[in-house]
Amino acid sequence: MDESELARGLEGVTVAETRLSDIDGEAGDLVVGGFPVADLATNATYEEALFLLYNDRLPTAAELDAFRADLADRRSVADEVRDVLRMAAEAGDPPMDALRAGVAAANLDTGEANPEGTARRAVAVLPTIAAAYWRYRQGTAPVEPDGGLRHAANYLYMLTGEEPDEASVRGLETYLNTVIDHGLNASTFAARVVISTESDIVSAVTAAVGALKGPLHGGAPGPVLDMLQEVHDSGDPESYVRTKLDAGERLMGFGHRVYRVRDPRAAVLSGAAERFYDAGGDAAFFETVTAFEEVATDLLAEYKPGRSLETNVEFYTAALLHGVGIPRDLFTPTFAVARVGGWTAHCLEQLQDNRLIRPRARYVGDRDRTWRPLADR
């Protein structure tokens, strides 16, 4: 790119090589660890997907058992960390603020120096932090992690204190795998920038959580659920959509910065949601979801011809996470529970052949100012 060109938001600028994931926005394809996202998300456990990102291959049965046990051993947090989360809950701090504080505090007492060990600790401890904060916010004590449960199952268990059914576990696990990595999105880029300074993975993950907190990155599934519940109560999706579009408002859950067709992750999650609701969820609610997608897609084409505004990942994220029992306020923290696998894998990849990430800015300020002493201003 010519240095005179300005790439706002670094759009179209390639700054790294990666083997972790690849996005084709025009075709609507996403490859994660060499697998089409649909194949990986619907077949793997989260531990298998994470091992794949870390090692560029799937684990053997013995390797998977060892990897799973190692992650389980890193799930607990100290009482001092729980105090931080309790105070955050009592103060009414937003969940992402609590997650940011918790992930930084939870790694102070481990003595972990190896980057991959720190990466595993970050992945293992995020569900514990999110669940403990939520339990405190409900006025109940946190639930200790269960080392015998898979990563996804343990997260649901820590939220409720009850071992989840397999349909809920598989639904959540499919979600975690679907969003585990997605190119150089804002939070992943933030993590790579921090680790490129030869800082540490805890700092990189903390920065990534801060980036994910922003509503332009990780905040849409909650409003999508609000929208779906309102439409479900009214039973009139067309009136809802027309009212929004006539007012010039954005329809949450549609359109994407990269994809020019339907988000491939939406396809994966719609299938996962259908399987979950067929297994005993609120079938009437899911009928509203699918009817709304059809109506909204048609009306968006009518109101905004020539623009591709298909469903994105947030639309079916809301339906699926709501179904499996994740509270609405934990949708974005649950996104972090998944994406921390990608954040840490990118950090490890950056460290393999590191170069400080240092873009330039174009100066547009004055150049010929004359200094005036304070008394003369």
Residues acting as catalytic residues: 256, 314
Candidates 332, 120, 331, 128; CA nearest to 211 is 332
In three state form, how does the secondary structure of 241-301 look?
HHHHHHCCCCCCCECCCCCCCCCHHHHHHHHHHHHHHHCCCCHHHHHHHHHHHHHHHHHHH
Rg (CA), the chain: 22
Is 347:119 a contact under the CB 8 Å cutoff?
A: yes
The span from the first CA to the last CA of the chain, in angstroms, equals 43
CA 257 from centroid of its chain's CA atoms = 16
Q: Report DSSP state, residue 211.
A: H
User: How far apart (Å, rounded) are the C-alpha atoms in residues 327 and 57?
Assistant: 34
